[in-house]
Structure 1
Amino acid sequence: MIHPRTIRADYNTTTNVLYVVGSELQVNLNRGAPPSSKFFSLKCTPNVQYRIKPQPPSMSPLSLIPLDGNLVLLISMSRASQHVRDSKLSVMYYGENKKSLGRAILHLTSVEISLDVDADRDGTVERNNPNKASWKWGPDGHGAILLVNCDSERTYRKKLDSEHDSVVTVSDLKDMSKMVLRTKGPDILQEGYKLAMHISQGDAESVRIFRAKSTEGASNFLNRLYNSFVKDYPLVLNSEVLFQEVPYLAGEGELHFYVEGLRFPDKDFDGLITVNLSLLEPIRPNVPETPIFTDKVAFRVAPWIMTPNTLQPLEVFVCSTSDNYLFLKGMRNFVAKSGYKLKICHEYVNRGDRWMQDELEFGYIDSPHHGFPVVLDSPRDGELDNFPYNELLGPDFGYVTRVPKQEVSSLDSFGNLEVSPPVTVNGRKYPLGRIIIGVAFPTATEGRNMTKVVQDFLWAQKVQEPIALFSDWLLVGHVDEFMSFVPAPDRKGFRLLLASPDAVYKLFRGLQNSGHGQAKLFDGLKDEKKITVDELLEDGSLRVENTYVQSCIDWNRDVLKRELGLDENDIIDLPVLFKMVYDDDKKFRAVAYYPDMVNMIVLGKNLGVPKPFGPRVNGRCALEAEMCSLVEGLGLSCTFIDDFTSYHKKLGEVHCGSNVRRKPFDFRWWNMEQ
């Protein structure tokens, strides 16, 4: 990119000019000419190139060229100077009789200046990438990437690294993006010239910049040792310092900077940041310097990304409480059989709050040079409130939350936050899937919704465009009560599982027709009233309630088919029954009639499913048998976990009581087409 710059060249005057390689000096020849000038000639040293615009019909060195009021002299230099004022260009002016009237002399010093970042996203800061000042999505895109420094290098009295105004430890530098100032030229700049780095007031709340005191990459042992201390990375720019002079290195040198992201994209921040470097020219004492060259680089802050059920699990989290022994035993066996790690949050930490899914959502951030998991803390603020910060935040494990301005509802728990596997919809690819949240029905005059600050945050990440489903018909109101995703070896690589009362009635009518109408639900549960298949089918009120529930699920079915590009073969209906109850506001809402099998945990090909305690036929639970038959063709295996007393009776299931941290996508988010 050519950087044009207009300079003066007055006759009978010698002007010292500092030139930046890659720029172009423009001189209006008529403006600085003596009165009555009609012709001019040019002479320069070998390192100087020039051209005239518009170009004269013929031009040779020392030839006299007619002076026109519109003539502009364009000057460039191809390499950096070894010494100050080692190049020269002169303009000789002539009158009507070709008599010399005066001469303008330019003494030129050229320097190479480049502010560089990893604009091609390969993990290396390349020299002077032509696209470094802008951002473009896609595999052929460009623009550097910045991580929010939201982990904590400290484990004692910790807080987010981004909340420190200094480098916490040298290892903290890996969370930052490297930026390099490269210079080449004389040992010193001309007197009064200086380099300054600056950012806008708008960007200053989102970024902080440190620099290394000494030249990095030096082979000298003392230099390497010098760079190993935190104090050797002074702060350059932040929200209070928008402009600061930076050193010019003699000869040929590199000065390394570390750029730290302070906040994620959000409603009031698009994630784009620009850093500027200017060369300032002195005019005279007590007069501000003027910028004669500016280089700039662009960063985009990496988004927070959710992980779907189809990605490989790394760790499973559950709570231990005084009454969930059977659930915990089932989870231990299931997770061990699946080959993954189980992490238990004990009661002295959870304080009786068992809803691990509702408190937090695991995700991650990524860049070409580094990435790490980041937990999104929900605004529900139950007794597990301190767990994400106190127990998860640490080195290379980040934390983010959003604080609502209004009172939260059950829909702000993260059982109401899911993400689909990758999909293609009408030709548009979503390689990181789409976020799914539950809200009130679109035409409702009142109802519960996920709080606006969380929704704004999710939308602002851009890479997993959210889908809003209708979940307010449920008492708890979470999307995980009626849907889940499981991996599949064919079609789109997954299936959508939907709760279906219709599937229950179809299954139970088949049992009745086969002579099993007296088989009982809840058989084996001591304190639960048993009900036969015949009795359930005869309950007209229950049937009406489930007709309503099915219509709500079908509404969401249509939305999911449209927004995820699904057809009926991508969906499996699980036999799940509901009943209507009054909530605290005397509104009629639905809860699961028996343990909700769709509310499961997915570990690879192993499904941890709530044990439904359905009618037993030929020694086997008919609901379990149906569940297995629906997914076994996909190579999936079901383990049924007893959560009846400790979770189902408290209006939650296996998924509500567990959480899974998974591997990030192989796909790099910046390669998305927008």
Structure 2
Amino acid sequence: MTLPRTLRIDYGKKIEFVCVVGSELSVNLDRNAPPKSKFFSVKCSPDVQHSVHPPPTEASLLSPIPLNGNSTLLFTMSRASEHENDNKLSVRYYDENKKDLGKAVLHLTAVEISLDVDADRDGVVEKNNPNKGSWKWGPDGHGAILLVNCDCERSYWKKPDNMQKAGAVTRVSDLKDMSLMVLRTKGPAKLPEGYKLTMHISQGDAEGVRVFRSKAPPVVVSNSFGSLFYNDFVKDYPLVLSKEALSEDVLYLGGDSELNFHVEGLKFPDIDFDGFIRINLSVLEPISKGVPETPIFTDQVVFRVAPWIMTPNTLEPIEAVVCSTSDNYQFLKGMRMLAEESGCKLKICHEYMNRGDRWIQDELEFGYIDSPHQSFPVVLDSPRDGKLLDFPYKELLGPDFGYVTRVPERTDVSSLDSFGNLEVSPPVTVNGTSYPLGRILIGVAFPTTTKGRNMTKVVQDFLWAQKVQEPVALFSDWLYVGHVDEFMSFVPAPDRKGFRMLLASPDAGYKLFRGLQSDGHGKAKLFDGVEDEEPITVDEILDNSGLHSQNCYVQSCIDWNRDVLKRELGLEDEDIIDLPILFKLVVGKDKSTQFRAVAYYPDMVNMIVLGKNLGIPKPYGPKVNGRCALEAEMCSLLEGLGLNCTFIDDFASYHKRLGEVHCGSNVRRKPFEMKWWNMEM
């Protein structure tokens, strides 16, 4: 029941009033009583329940009740009216001799009004859920969910539906991306003259939502006057609420009826938007001609906009995406074989679209949005905007495939804004706190650095605002390219936490090479047979003190991140596998900048994960008994987890351009089975 609302009455007058079933009305009996009033009595129709406060004494129950300054009448209506003004309530006043001084009469029309949403998140809009006006996380939580309508029903002149001209529903199929909201009313065929229903939102909420209605009401049930029928086949959907129209009168249908509305989300949670949308339905009462109406009852529903969610390597792949260029035939051949073995589709972005830009991982990140009634993938377009900048919009945006981006000032964009620098962990539990959708990982400058590169603020703000995958900041500015995928990855595992974290480790690399040397393989060569690459022996690598010093620095940077990841992801050393990878330091593009690291040989941690099949950069390491020692070590470390290692030749087409297999590929994966709204927050 809603809080009591104060109602004004006048003696000597008859007032028509609409009362919403279930709401409580309060009348101060002294405020408008006739002069010299000392007593009062109350009469009402059977459907009107009333009480007096303070309660009268037992002796006065059968006689006029003493009136004082605090005398209050509370009343409610138990069921909807069949006719206008079919219930009455009267208050009669008396002087000290109990002489009649006059009475105030209310002619009451009772209506049931409920603005309803799917507050229990089962895909059904139930009637008058008591929790529809609030939000609670968790499996026993409540509150309706709203999707950002960021896909596009058009196949030409494309633009996300939430950016279409206000008031445009391009196709009926567009409605499935919106949340259903139902206005249910029950009462007489029409309201008393002057009363009306109005739907309204705040100016702040209007930036994030539009509301449409079915032009022809879909269903009206019978009342005492018989049955009314409306057309089920709706041709269009008028706009009701938007930032241009904060309120709109709503048709009262009469009888036992329902009117459907479709609520469209326009923007994702962000630093300036907490994701909550409130929609109100009010009954307005006329005062007199030329005077504005006043609200006498308001029902409110609350939506929370669904967050954008990333998918980790441990989820099943649906489709891998790579670019075709003039020089990556060997890479594409390996990717085709890997995708086929994995039962995964392979989408190729051809040169007319990529224009020579092969770094598909850096251009975009696949994710999705989810609600009880609809779910679809959404691509997050990076601020990088290389020659692939048109691909996410022109090739991916479409029906049931959404698009979102964040646009910073161009001066703010650095290599760290490419999405090789954006990863997500599998689900983890940290000190009792569960992250069932994993945690986002981003690379930034070292905390004490004032001149380092960072991921731009608008992207970081967006990622933090999604809440369900709380980000972790890692130190990646020590790398020339500066991406977290250059030193870490995740692979599925059958035990422990269900995954292993892979870390690049120069220490593991030197340990492997020292072992080869001690076993008499110091003359074995790296890069043997690689075109335009000078082979180098294991002995020469181990004798290069400068290279060793550089890798000691790199190991210290990775160890700093290792400690952060162990702490923030709740990992132990047994959850981590160190991969034998060496780096070297090179001067940055700006000659005045510090030295930064690149992989000395193909960076095997920079892999693609398709289920149990791994596409690993072919390292061209020293051969022992005809087999690459680095490949053998990788197989030894990973195949015990039931993983299959496939080594893909990316040396000329990617490695020498400072990237690897992961940089040149991207994967769209199945969503989590876990529903984000069931998280404990």
Alignment TM-score > 0.5, same fold: yes
Task: Report the more deviating stretch, 96-105 or 169-178.
Answer: 96-105
1:214-247 deviation digits (Å, cap 9, x = unpaired): 22257999955631x2xx2100011111011010
1:233 corresponds in structure 2 to: 237
Task: Decide which of 583, 591, 607 is 2:588's aligned counterpart.
Answer: 583
Which SS does the other structure have where 2:107 is aligned?
strand
- Measured at CA, do residues 221 and 539 of structure 1 come closer, stay the same or move farther in structure 2, by a change above 3 Å? farther
Cα distance in 2 for partners of 1:80, 1:3 equals 19
Pair 1:359-2:367 in alignment: no
Structure 1 distance, partners of 2:233, 2:389, is 42
Does 1:503 find its partner at 2:508?
yes
Change (3 A) 1:5 1:222: closer
Match of 1:106?
A: 106
**By how many angstroms is 1:518 displaced?**
0.6
Q: Does the 8 Å contact 1:362/1:373 carry over to 2?
A: yes
Could you tell me which residue of structure 1 aligns to residue 623 of structure 2? 616
Determine if the alignment matches structure 1 residue 385 to structure 2 residue 389. Answer: yes
Equivalents in 1 of 2:641, 2:449: separation in Å?
39
Aligned to 2:664: 657
Partners of 2:121 and 2:142 within 8 A in 1: yes
Give the Cα separation in 1 of the matches to 2:111 and 2:342: 62
Aligned partner of 1:501: which letter? Answer: P
* Structure 2: distance between partners of 1:176 and 1:62: 58
Q: Could you tell me which runs of 5 or more consecutive residues in structure 2 were left unpaired when the two chains were aligned.
A: 222-226
Tell me the equivalent position of 1:625.
632
Q: Distance in 1 between matches of 2:309 and 2:485?
A: 19
Residue 540 (structure 2) pairs with residue 535 (structure 1): yes
Q: Cα offset for 1:9?
A: 2.1
In structure 2, how many angstroms separate the alpha carbons of the residues matched to 1:274 and 1:59?
49
**Root-mean-square deviation over aligned CA pairs:** 1.4
Alignment of 1:272-671 (within 5 A): 272-407=276-411, 408-586=413-591, 587-671=594-678
Residue 144 (structure 1) shift: 0.6
Q: d(CA) in 1 for partners of 2:219 and 2:367?
A: 34
Aligned residue pair count = 671
**Separation in structure 1 between the aligned mates of residue 671 and residue 248 of structure 2, nearest angstrom:** 38
Task: For 1:235 and 1:595, locate their aligned partners in 2 and report how far apart those are by CA, in whole Å.
Answer: 56
Structure 1 distance, partners of 2:185, 2:325, is: 62
Contact 2:282 2:296 in 1 (8 A): yes
Please say if residues 220 and 255 of structure 2, whose CA atoms lie closer than 8 Å, have aligned partners that are also in contact.
no
Match of 1:188 in 2: 190
For 1:258, the equivalent position in structure 2 comes to 262
Structure 2 CA distance, aligned partners of 1:218 and 1:92?
A: 40
The residue type paired with residue 544 of structure 1 is S
Helix, strand or coil: the match of 1:125?
coil
- Partner of 2:408, secondary structure, is coil
Indicate the percent of aligned positions where both proteins have the same amino acid: 75
Q: Map Cα deviations across residues 257-296 of structure 1 (whole Å, 9 max, x no partner).
A: 0000011111111110100111111111111110111111
| 1-structure distance, mates of 2:59, 2:214 | 50
Matched residue type, 1:415: G
Give the conservation status (yes or no) of the 8 Å contact 2:353–2:391: yes
SS of 2:4's partner is strand
**Residues 211 and 261 of structure 2 are in contact (CA less than 8 Å); yes or no, is this contact kept in structure 1?**
yes
Q: Distance between the aligned counterparts of 1:470 and 1:556, measured in 2?
A: 6
Between the aligned partners of 1:258 and 1:69, the Cα distance in structure 2 is 48
Is the Cα–Cα contact under 8 Å of residues 42 and 62 in structure 1 kept in the other structure? no
Instruction: Look up the match of 2:224.
Output: none
**Selected match of 1:673 from 652, 658, 680:** 680
Structure 1 Cα separation of the partners of residues 587 and 57 of structure 2: 92
SS in 2 for 1:629: helix
Distance change in 2, residues 1:218/1:35 (3 Å): closer
TM-score calculated relative to the size of structure 1: 0.98
In structure 2, distance between residues paired with 1:564 and 1:60: 71
Question: 1:131-190 CA deviation, whole Å, 9 max, x = no partner?
Answer: 111111111111110000000000011111112221110000000000011111110101
1:512-547 per-position Cα deviation (integer Å, ceiling 9, x unaligned): 111111110011213111111111000000000000
Taking the aligned partners of 2:574 and 2:511, their CA distance within structure 1 comes to 19
1:308 alignment partner, SS class: coil
| Greater displacement, 439-448 / 3-12 | 3-12
Q: Is the 8 A contact 1:41 1:65 kept in 2?
A: yes
Mapped contact 1:3–1:22 kept (Cα < 8 A): no
TM-score, scaled to structure 2: 0.97
Report the Cα distance in structure 2 between the residues aligned to 1:384 and 1:569, rounded to whole angstroms.
39
Question: What is the alpha-carbon distance in structure 1 between the residues aligned to residue 466 and residue 322 of structure 2?
Answer: 28
Question: What CA deviation, in whole Å up to 9, does each residue of 1:591-637 have, x standing for no partner?
Answer: 00000000000001111000000000011100000001111111111
In structure 2, do the counterparts of structure 1 residues 509 and 251 end up closer, same or farther at CA, with 3 Å as the change threshold?
same
Distance 2:230 2:80 in 1: 26
